Amino acid sequence: MSVPLCVIFLRVMPTKKKNSKKKTVVKKSLGAKPARAAKGAATTKRSAAAGTDPRRVAAILAKLDEAYPAATCELKHDNAFQLLISTILSAQCTDVRVNQVAETLYKKYPTPEAFAHASPPELEQEIRPTGFFRNKTKSIMGASKAIIERFGGQVPRTMEDLLTVPGAARKTANVVLGTAFGIASGIVVDTHVIRISNRLDLTRNEDPKKIEQDLMKVIPKEKWILFSHQIIWHGRRVCLARKPKCIECNLEKICYSKDKTI
């Protein structure tokens, strides 16, 4: 028996209405997400800015001046070239160990020419205690040749030029420019600076380049060089990685790090 067309039409219509209601609900649900995300983003922004209030930054700098008024680079050197080589050697190595190696190293290789024409196997053995000695040998010899061939035997005094020297990334360049020449080109970011700038809520980043940019925005330029040394000294003496000596820290009252030991 055939079904009348009017009956088919009545059965189909409710189905269309149900579908349209479902679509409307889905659209409303998707539209609500950006509002929640925006609210969360605003909260994060306020939280990240809390530690960089100018008055708090000034207090931190004052406490660092109080604790380490004469902080400086602890790599022993007689000139900018030796500092460059020692900084290359300091990667993944302590300054104490580098200084031990440097005592005899610079007597055997006193000039860029001496390093540039060194025997790689011999140089590797000389710097072996600093670790990664093969890669460091290539960087040292490459840096020495670049300084001779492109810069007349003198360590360049600009960030742009130094970054073309093998083995010299921003950290190395900032150390050399700041310590050897007194040029505030940026802020040295090593493991201590990464750890402590996060503990003090001066940054929320882990990438050294981003941390440097964050710090340069809140630390006065005239303080960049000294601040770098002070934070490194603080990291080696008090704000240790595993067990910070918070009871000995003059920053304890203005520090709200989750790593505090008291």
Residues with a known catalytic role: 171, 190
Q: Which long-range contacts (CB under 8 A, 24 or more apart) does 131-140 make?
A: 131/92, 131/93, 132/91, 132/92, 136/88, 136/89, 136/91, 136/167, 138/166, 139/88, 139/166, 139/167, 140/85, 140/88, 140/89, 140/115, 140/167
Buried b (16+ CB within 10 A) or exposed e, 59-85: ebbebbeebbeebebbbebeebbbbbb
Q: Measuring CA to CA, which residue among 189, 192, 187, 204 is closest to residue 49?
A: 204
The first and second tokens of residue 61, run together, are 């700098």
Helix (H, G, I), strand (E, B), or coil: what is residue 262? coil
Amino acid of residue 242: R
The first and second tokens of residue 123, run together, are 């140089």
The first and second tokens of residue 88, run together, are 């290359």
**Dihedral class, residue 184 (left if φ above 0, else alpha if ψ from -120 to 50, else beta):** beta
Judge contact between 123 and 141, C-beta under 8 A. Answer: yes
